[in-house]
Amino acid sequence: MLESAIIVILAAAFFLVLRHYPEVSESKISFWKDWQKKLILGTKSFMAQRKKRQIEKIKQEISRPEPEITFDNVNKLPELSIQQKYSKLPPELVRILCSADEALINNDLREAEDKAIEAITKDKRCAGAYVIIGKVAFSRGEFDDSKEAYKTALKCDADQAEAYYGLGQINHREENYQECIDNYSNALNLEKSRADWYADFGNAYMEIRQFAKAAKAFKKASSIDIENREYKDLASEAEEKQRAHASVARMK
């Protein structure tokens, strides 16, 4: 495109010179033609070199290996976008659920709920929509409604990690720790990179005085989010309590 524009401009300039200066000698006309030809060839060479550099850059990008995902660097990787989260759904449902999630992020519970209901009218088995309704109800303190929404999500799709986690949160609040641990465990079997979920898992074990398992969960959280000092402190606290508990048991 740039090359063509330069050629057009040069041709126009040459035409104007001949039009306004008809007395220009043949030698000068020849000079202008040679100069125009050299400039066009130079422009073509420049464009060819630039195109070659662009192609080389693309090749380098394609050949660059993807970073290996480990627990040491997973927290530094970009989070999945909302669009990727719903990538297996029809585009219309993706649009609606993305809007609902964005409303949740902005704490606009009414908008989130309306969008979730809209998604369900499009597909009554839309598990993601029931998860959103469960989150909205939980935020409002409507825990029974939240629990029913999460259970419905799991009936529609048994692999909804967020639904298991949501049920675990409700169980934790109700002090139903064994069921809480079961639900957190199911959630983490499906989604293994959530440091905050592992921390809640550890807190549930702390409640029932299973300190070794709590320490293991906190260490897992710390290995995922290595910059979070709180997880390391919780792991140390659980280990200390485990040692103290073991010491008391031996004395008995």
Read off the pLDDT band of 52 (50, 70, 90). low
CA distance 250 to 235: 23
Read off the pLDDT band of 88 (50, 70, 90). confident
pLDDT reading at 108 higher than 60:
yes
Q: How high is the pLDDT of residue 86?
A: 79
**What distances in angstroms separate CA 104 from CA 11, 109, 135, 167, 207, one per listed residue?**
60, 6, 8, 18, 30
Please report, as a single letter, which amino acid is at residue 208. Answer: I
Contact 218, 198 (CB under 8 A): yes
Distance of CA 207 to the CA centre of its chain: 32
Token pair of 50, please?
């630039």
pTM exceeds 0.85, yes or no: no
Q: How high is the pLDDT of residue 12?
A: 54
Read off the pLDDT band of 245 (50, 70, 90). confident
Q: How high is the pLDDT of residue 85?
A: 73
Provide the 8-state DSSP code for 74: G
E strand intervals along the chain: none
Lowest mean pLDDT among 43-47, 106-110, 137-141, 247-251: 43-47
Mean pLDDT of 222-240: 95
The structural domains of the chain, with segments of one domain joined by +, span 87-191, 196-252
Q: How high is the pLDDT of residue 244?
A: 84
Q: Which residue has the higher pLDDT, 188 or 41?
A: 188
Residue listed under structure tokens 């959530």: 194
| CATH 3.40.50.720 fits domain 87-191 | no
Contact 221, 75 (CB under 8 A): no
Mean of the per-residue pLDDT values of the chain? 79
Query: For the chain, what percent of residues have pLDDT higher than 90?
Result: 60
